[in-house]
C-alpha cells in the first residue's frame, strides 16, 4: 500500500506595512513606523475569506510630541487582530531630553480587520519620571499595506 502525502501547508509570509497613529494620554502624540505582519497565520487554507480577517504583526515605531519641550518614545510591539477585537502589548522608552522612562503598555481595542484600530492602553511606567506620560491612553492607529484584499 503506497503512502499518500498530505498537501503541503501554505507557509506564512510576512510583509512590511506603514503605521500612522494618534495617541491621547493627557498630551497629544503622533506615531510613525513600520509593521511586519501577515494574514492566514493559523490555518493552511488561505483561500477562505474569513482567514483574511486574522492578522498579527510586530511593529517598530516612534511616538512624538513637538513643542518647547519635545517628548519622544521609541516603541516596539506585538498585536493580534481577529476581525474586530484586537489585543497587543508594546514597550516604549520615553524621553523629554532631561528625563527618561521605560513603559510597558498592554492594549485592547476594536479594529477594522487590522487596517484601522481604536484602542485603550494602560501605561505601566518603571519610574514615573515624566509627568506627561499618564496611565490611560486612547489610540487610533492605521496600518497601510495590510493586503486585506490580495
Q: What was the pLDDT predicted at 62?
A: 97
Determine the Cα–Cα distance for residues 63 and 127; give it in Å rounded to an integer.
19
pLDDT digits (tens, 9 = 90+) for 132-149: 888 999 999 998 876 554
Q: Which fold has domain 15-144?
A: Porin (2.40.160)
pLDDT digits (tens, 9 = 90+) for 70-125: 899 999 999 998 888 999 999 999 998 899 999 999 999 999 877 899 999 999 99
Q: With 90 as the cut, is the pLDDT of residue 68 above it?
A: no
Residue pointed to by grid coordinates 523629554: 96
Determine the Cα–Cα distance for residues 17 and 32; give it in Å rounded to an integer.
11
- Give SS3 for 50: helix
* pTM for this prediction: 0.80
Amino acid at each position: 500500500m503506497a503512502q499518500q502525502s498530505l498537501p503541503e501547508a501554505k507557509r506564512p509570509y510576512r510583509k512590511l506595512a506603514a503605521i500612522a497613529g494618534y495617541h491621547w494620554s493627557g498630551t497629544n502624540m503622533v506615531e510613525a513606523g513600520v509593521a511586519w505582519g501577515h494574514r492566514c497565520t493559523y490555518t493552511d487554507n488561505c483561500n477562505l475569506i474569513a482567514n483574511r480577517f486574522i492578522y498579527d504583526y510586530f511593529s517598530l515605531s516612534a511616538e512624538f510630541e513637538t513643542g518647547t519641550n519635545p517628548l519622544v518614545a521609541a516603541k516596539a510591539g506585538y498585536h493580534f487582530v481577529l476581525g474586530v477585537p484586537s489585543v497587543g502589548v508594546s514597550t516604549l522608552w520615553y524621553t523629554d531630553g532631561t528625563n527618561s522612562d521605560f513603559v510597558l503598555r498592554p492594549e485592547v481595542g476594536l479594529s477594522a480587520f487590522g487596517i484601522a484600530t481604536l484602542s485603550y492602553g494602560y501605561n505601566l511606567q518603571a519610574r514615573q519620571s515624566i509627568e506627561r506620560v499618564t496611565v490611560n491612553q486612547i489610540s487610533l492607529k492605521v496600518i497601510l499595506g495590510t493586503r486585506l484584499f490580495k
